Amino acid sequence: MIDLRSDTVTRPTEAMRTAMARAEVGDDVYGEDPTVAALEERVAGLLGHEAALFVPTGSMGNVLAVRSLVAPGQEVLCEASAHIARAELGAHGAIGGVTMRTWRHPRGDVDLDAVRAMHAPDMGPFFVRTTCVSVENTHNFAGGTVVPLDRLRDLREWADGAGVGVHLDGARLWNAHVATGTPLADYGAQVDVASVCLSKGLGAPIGSLMVGSADAVAEARVWRKRLGGGMRQVGVLAAAGLHALDHHLERLADDHAHARLLAEACGVDPAGVETNIVVVERSDAAALVEKAAAEGVRVATVGPTTVRMVTHLDVSRDDAERAAAVLARLV
Ligand SMILES: *Cc1c(COP(=O)(O)O)cnc(C)c1O
């Protein structure tokens, strides 16, 4: 089976498992795990922020990051198909007391005019106050699209003037970095808090980081424990992340090339495929998933007429070519 349902399906390589087995560990709730500390320091440095916090999932990273900017009863503005709005099961409302309003953009991009129009400053007992704009880069459900750095700079400038915080859901920021050559720190400089995932394209079995100021991360450390996310000798997991940063970052370019190959096979313009996600609109989406599976290619639906394919570490050039041949026939 060639599994293109998601880039979360990768299995740790032998070299990664070796790095995990050899990791130095300690009790991280006591702040005594040197491998976790090294990973946190490294990722904070990559994004040019003061501190980072190792968390089990990107969803927890987003909850901690958003709540650092949005008090209960305040609101975050985001794109309508953002992961925080669609795929975190209401966590920001259920846990953070956060409300949301959304703008819509076909490529998941920032619509600064919409943000300006929606922005509600503190109006006392009349309107929900906007304290955060959230951006997803790359944008998952829009098809792995990159939010350009210039747009983020414009947003930052506006947000500074308006006194609003900026959150980045950077689950796949690595892909944006590799696709555009934009330094991670340039993205980091435009936002107050971010989350990044090690468990997607980087191929680690688990792990995400919430990134921000030392104060925001210190508070998030308390909230992580409160949510049941205080972990102990997890240097074994952090070691997988460090290994992934050393060995699996630059190779994301291969995944992007493989995605373009699949796009061509499916009649999708490869120029619109910026990273490792291909979205195909089909009235017979469910049937296509079934037929592809019967021929050894697993793809997924992310809507009634939307098929999604994601390339990753466990899809070789050969796999991508074989999958493309199957899909070209079916589509
Ligand atoms: C995967 C993903 C997350 C986090 O997902 P978890 O399954 O909670 O780790 C967050 N944002 C985006 C855009 C994602 O694709």
59 within ligand 1 shell (Cβ under 6 A): yes
| 8 A C-beta contact, residue 99 and residue 45 | no
58 within ligand 1 shell (Cβ under 6 A): yes
Report the DSSP pairing between strands 208-212 and 193-197.
antiparallel
The two tokens of residue 212 are 């921000």
Q: For the residues 183-210, what does the mean pLDDT come to?
A: 98
Say which residues have a Cβ less than 8 Å from residue 151's Cβ, sequence separation at least 6. 109, 110, 112
Q: What percent of the chain has pLDDT over 70?
A: 100
Spacing of C-alpha 34 from chain mean position: 25
User: What are the tens digits of pLDDT across the range 281-329?
Assistant: 999 999 999 999 999 999 999 989 999 999 999 999 999 999 999 999 9
Complete edge-to-edge strand list for the sheet that includes strand 306-310 = 277-281, 306-310, 300-303
169 within ligand 1 shell (Cβ under 6 A): yes
User: What are the tens digits of pLDDT across the range 75-123?
Assistant: 999 999 999 999 999 999 999 999 999 999 999 999 999 999 999 999 9
Specify the residue with its C-alpha closest to ligand 1, atom 10. Answer: 58
- In the reported structure, the alpha carbon of residue 243 is separated from the centroid of ligand 1 by a whole-number distance in angstroms of 20
| Domains in the chain, CATH or no CATH each | 14-247 (3.40.640.10), 251-330 (3.90.1150.10)
Three-class secondary structure of residue 155 per DSSP = helix
User: What are the tens digits of pLDDT across the range 212-262?
Assistant: 999 999 999 999 999 999 999 999 999 999 999 999 999 999 999 999 999
Cis-peptide, bond into residue 13, ω within 30° of zero:
no
276 within ligand 1 shell (Cβ under 6 A): no
Gap between the Cα atoms of 202 and 244, Å rounded: 6
Q: For the residues 22-43, what does the mean pLDDT come to?
A: 98
Read off the pLDDT band of 210 (50, 70, 90): very high
- In the reported structure, the alpha carbon of residue 266 is separated from the centroid of ligand 1 by a whole-number distance in angstroms of 26
140 within ligand 1 shell (Cβ under 6 A): yes
254 within ligand 1 shell (Cβ under 6 A): no
Question: What are the two backbone dihedrals, phi and then psi, of residue 317, each rounded to the nearest 5 degrees?
Answer: -55, -45
Gap between the Cα atoms of 61 and 70, Å rounded: 14
136 within ligand 1 shell (Cβ under 6 A): yes
Transcribe 165-234 into DSSP letters: EEEEEETTHHHHHHHH---HHHHHTT-SEEEEESSSTT--SS-EEEEE-HHHHHHHHHHHHHTT---SST
Dihedral of CA 51/53/57/62: which sign?
Answer: negative
Specify the residue with its C-alpha closest to ligand 1, atom 3. Answer: 58
